[in-house]
Amino acid sequence: MGNIKQNFSIKDLEYLSGIKAHTIRMWEKRYGVLKPNRTDTNIRTYSVNGLQKILNIAFLNENGYKISRISSMNDEEVSKLVKRITTSKSNVNRAVQSMKVAMMNFDQPLFLKTYDGLLTNKTFRDIYKEVFIPLLQQIGYLWQSNTITPAHEQFISNLIKQKLFINIENLQKVQPLKEDKVFVLFLPEEEIHDIGLYYTNYELLSHGYKVIFLGQSLPMEDLSYLSKLFTETVFISYLTTKPEDLDEYVKKFTKHICTDGKCEYWILGRKAEEVLSEGKELPHRVKAFSSIYHLTFNL
């Protein structure tokens, strides 16, 4: 238990629940919904139970229940109501919150239980789009605000990757149906954020294409062989932080790798979004996409 965060600040609760700190203070004072501990300097701290309670309250509040009514219930009644709403309505928000709690406490069974519950009425694609993407976005904010450590981020990222691996392997067992293009997926040197690339792999496989997945931090010169091996090759990168000089990188790529009209380079991720928002011109045979869904729509 030594590596599990046991105490949370009111800012932690705000970042994790989406309820503003001043609102939490008001609910404490007016309705007594939480009973924080106090440090020697009179700073509020909250236990894991307090965190779970504010997540439940936030969920009910989002589903139309007024705080005055929620505060009149005991913890068991609140929990039962949350479960009832979860089974009768979309449980996406609840799932995101539950997975955040799993992350904070390094609780793998909770993550898996939440995921399995979603599978009862959602496809993996639905779960990734509606739950994993918002979760990863919120984790980014939590990391930037020092609410979580890199260990928390790695823990939840690896659990998401496990689910990606399982679904990718199931698709890899099927012979590709389309032969007009071969997709080569890779990340440039020093780029290690690979979840987006794995999901791109999943989507391309599900659309019936042959995919060669090479992974992260790959030197450009290692790709020249593949550009000549197939009739039409499309290289894809999901760029989050690297390369620092994207303009120079794509120019070099078209000069040394995509040397003929049968080769293209497609980019996704934060770097691609920046290119699109700034209206930059890309070299011939290089395309930027705002999302994987935008990319698959153009297949």
CATH number of the domain residue 51 falls in: 1.10.1660.10
Domain C-terminal end among 66, 89, 112: 89
284, 179: one domain? yes
Q: Please provide the DSSP assignment of the chain as one string.
A: -TTS---B-HHHHHHHH---HHHHHHHHHHH-----EE-TT--EEB-HHHHHHHHHHHHHHHTT--HHHHTTS-HHHHHHHHHHHHHHS--HHHHHHHHHHHHHTT-HHHHHHHHHHHHTT--HHHHIIIIIHHHHHHHHHHHHTTSS-HHHHHHHHHHHHHHHHHHHHHHHTSPPSEEEEEEEEEEETT----HHHHHHHHHHHHTTEEEEEEEEEE-GGGGHHHHHHSSSEEEEEE-SS--SSHHHHHHHHHHHT--STTEEEEEESHHHHHHHHHT----TTEEE-SSHHHHHHT-
293, 245: one domain? yes
50, 128: one domain? no
77, 132: one domain? no
User: How many domains would you assign to the chain?
Assistant: 3
Angle (CA) 188-173-268 rounded to 5° is: 25
34, 123: one domain? no
19, 78: one domain? yes
248, 285: one domain? yes
47, 81: one domain? yes
272, 183: one domain? yes
Could you state, in chain order, the average pLDDT of each consecutive group of 10 residues for the chain (299 residues)?
66 86 93 88 86 85 89 88 66 81 85 91 93 89 75 93 97 90 94 94 96 93 86 93 92 89 91 91 92 89
Question: Does the CA dihedral 155-157-163-165 come out positive or negative?
Answer: negative
Q: CATH number for the domain including 291?
A: 3.40.50.280
pTM across the whole model? 0.79
Angle (CA) 146-78-107 rounded to 5° is: 40
Separation CA 55–CA 50 (nearest Å): 9
82, 130: one domain? no
At 175, the amino acid letter reads Q
Separation CA 55–CA 49 (nearest Å): 10
- Among candidate residues 104, 188, 110, the one with its CA nearest the CA of residue 152: 104
Q: CATH number for the domain including 125?
A: 1.10.1240.10
Domain C-terminal end among 147, 173, 199: 173
Domain C-terminal end among 173, 195, 230: 173
- Domain extent at residue 44: 1-89
192, 231: one domain? yes
pLDDT score, position 5: 64
- Phi, psi (deg, nearest 5) at residue 13: -60, -40
pLDDT score, position 130: 92
14, 85: one domain? yes
